[in-house]
Chain A
Amino acid sequence: MNSQFRAELLKIRSTRTTAGLVLGMIGIVLLFSLLTGLLTKAPNLAATSDQRNLLGVGEFAGVFSALAGVMAVTSEYRYGTIRPTFLFTPRRPRVLGAKVAAGLLAGALFGVVGGVLGFGIGYACLAGRGIAFALDGRQVAFLLLSTVAGTALWGAIGVGVGAIVRGQVGAIIGLLAWAFVAEPLIFGLLPGLGRFGPVHAEDALSQFTTKHLLAAAPGGLLLVAWAAALSILGTALAVRRDVD
């Protein structure tokens, strides 16, 4: 397991895909942090919950870590490296397990970068505008840890989705369409159902103040369940399906 895990980490590091996703993530977090931190009216940034929404913009890292997970699987099918990969390691659950683990680790690193960046910019905006900081140390720690954990789990979700769909374009479009269109739509129409989706589970974990969300702990557990279910389904399909 250990050697396969190291091989998967090397795959992630040895192309420019990951670096591109990190840059994209930094750009998005910068943009949304600055927009929210500078344009929101001061009274709307006074409460703890408002500040948490601002300081937690790093949650966007989850999208990018999910894309990194998708790429880790789909680029192997797209470029055919899945063949040598499975020839060297014919026990496919070992390969997929290592990819999930690598997706979790890469996702956690995305979470650290995105979380710290989002928090830093948000904090600087509050300080620069003379708004009193409302979070205590425990809340700050929880905010950062939940961003790292949530982003890590999205990495595993990406691996699962990639293994289920296999086609790179389809997996990316599917993932983005779910995260930005389908799940928000379901949540808008049927919040009682939509709050069980992975995006809203992460919002709950991050203690966002949107109505109808689950509490943080069940939200976090639900996100773990999503990551586990998709990883297991993706692995089972990778074992069953022939490789062209």
Chain B
Amino acid sequence: MTRRGPSGVDDPVVRVESLTKRFGGVVAVDDLSFELERGTITGFLGPNGAGKTTTLRMLLGLARPSGGRASLFGRSYAELAEPSRRVGAVLEATDFHPGRSGRDHLRMLAEAVDLPGSRVEDVLRLVELQDAAHRRVKTYSLGMRQRLGLAAALLGDPELLILDEPANGLDPGGVRWLRDFLRAFAAQGRTVLISSHVLAEVAQTVDEVLIINHGKLVVESSLEQLTHRTAGSVRVRTPASAALAAALSRAGIRFSARDDGTVLAHGTTSDQVGDIAFEADVPIHELVGESSSLEEIFLGLTTEKAA
């Protein structure tokens, strides 16, 4: 049902319910549900082709869902009274006419929603493009185009920012600039959703993580929990595995025996396992810390079903 009346503060910033998109026989987004909390930065992650962009397009009213619904502030995108003042979005870094100046690109969008010309100058300053604003976009570097797209999304001073693969093609300086910008944006109580196919790219920016694969939600958690969940395993090769197991049990460390005869201790460090083995007189032939990187976690989550 469509809610009427002003969208309340109680409505989640984004609510996606059983969202589905089929293209012919191919299911691009499959019964996807999630919500975004105000003031958070959420990473929307998954390999290329996982359905991230299709989800964002449905959320933003550019594509029609085959099933389910997506709402922002309690309404569908098209029902928002002044969407550009609530939501800013960049779907492609290259959505400009090459022969139009950066300033005219922003002016034509501002004009359509009665935003003053001063607002155009404000966002140009914000993304540090004021000196290039008169030039045609074809003369811009990819980084400058990314910032121009961001400037357009910020024209209406929105509460929610949605960026699809914003770090693509940015140099390290640009990535840092974007991270600082998004941090400051969220610190004002605003909300950010950024998609990426590389977890490491957004790991230093996001608080929350949504991982999808084949159009389905695989993980919805905080980045902290995700890191905690799989970090800190130590693989030990020893001729006295029974003695090691006993020692680990006494120390309260979870472990598992592996098929290759090694022992895998969980939630610990190689220093700690080394000390325990030394005190228990257990000979160690090999001791390897396997604190798997976020990227490995991510790959593990998104490739297991692909096989």
Residues of A within 8 A of B (CB): 3-4, 6-7, 10-11, 14-17, 75, 79-81, 83-91, 242-244
Contacts and interface: CB of A to CB of B under 8 A. Distances in A.
Contact of B108 (A10, A75, A79, A242): A10
B255 interface: no
Nearest to B109: A88
A15 B137 CA distance: 11
Contacts of A79: 94-98
A242 B64 contact: yes
Give the 9 A-B CB pairs with smallest separation, nearest first: A80-B95, A7-B112, A14-B104, A242-B63, A7-B111, A90-B78, A243-B62, A15-B99, A10-B108
Interface string B35-73: 000000000000000000000010011111000000000
Chain B, interface residues (CB within 8 Å), range: 20 to 34
B96 A86 contact: no
B107 interface: yes
A153 B60 CA distance: 33
Contacts of B87: 87
Contacts of B98: 79
Interface in B68-103: 77-78, 80, 83-84, 87, 89, 91-92, 94-101
Contact of B152 (A75, A84, A242): A84
A25 to B, nearest CB: 19
B84 A10 contact: no
B86 to A, nearest CB: 11
A89 B112 contact: yes
Nearest to B83: A90
A16 B104 CA distance: 13
Contacts of A11: 100, 108
**SS class of chain A's interface: helix, strand, loop or mixed?**
helix
Contact of B95 (A4, A6, A81, A91): A81
B89 to A, nearest CB: 6
Contact of B113 (A17, A75, A89, A244): A89
B114 interface: yes
B112 to A, nearest CB: 4
Contacts of A7: 108-109, 111-112
Given A79-B95, A79-B96, A90-B61, 19 more contacts: A3-B111, A3-B112, A3-B113, A3-B114, A6-B112, A7-B108, A7-B109, A14-B97, A14-B100, A15-B97, A15-B99, A81-B97, A81-B105, A84-B152, A85-B112, A87-B60, A88-B113, A91-B78, A243-B63
29 contacts: A7-B109, A7-B111, A10-B108, A10-B111, A14-B97, A14-B100, A14-B107, A14-B108, A15-B97, A16-B99, A79-B96, A79-B97, A79-B98, A80-B92, A81-B95, A83-B95, A84-B109, A84-B152, A86-B62, A88-B83, A88-B109, A89-B113, A90-B61, A90-B78, A91-B78, A242-B63, A243-B57, A243-B62, A244-B57
Contacts of A90: 61, 77-78, 80, 83
A10 B104 contact: yes
A19 to B, nearest CB: 11
Interface of B: 57, 60-64, 77-78, 80, 83-84, 87, 89, 91-92, 94-101, 104-105, 107-109, 111-114, 152
Nearest to B87: A87
B296 to A, nearest CB: 33
A46 B92 CA distance: 61
A11 B101 CA distance: 11
A129 B84 CA distance: 62
A242 B62 contact: yes
Nearest to A12: B108
A3 B112 CA distance: 5
A90 B105 CA distance: 18
Nearest to B63: A242
Given A79-B96, A91-B78, A6 B111 contact: yes
A79 B94 CA distance: 8
Nearest to B62: A243
A243 B95 CA distance: 13
A243 B77 CA distance: 14
Contacts of A3: 111-114
Nearest to B104: A14
Given A87-B84, A90-B78, A17 B99 contact: yes
A79 B99 CA distance: 10
A84 B62 CA distance: 10
A83 B57 CA distance: 9
Nearest to B64: A242
Contacts of B114: 3
Nearest to B76: A90
A75 B137 CA distance: 15
A65 B96 CA distance: 23
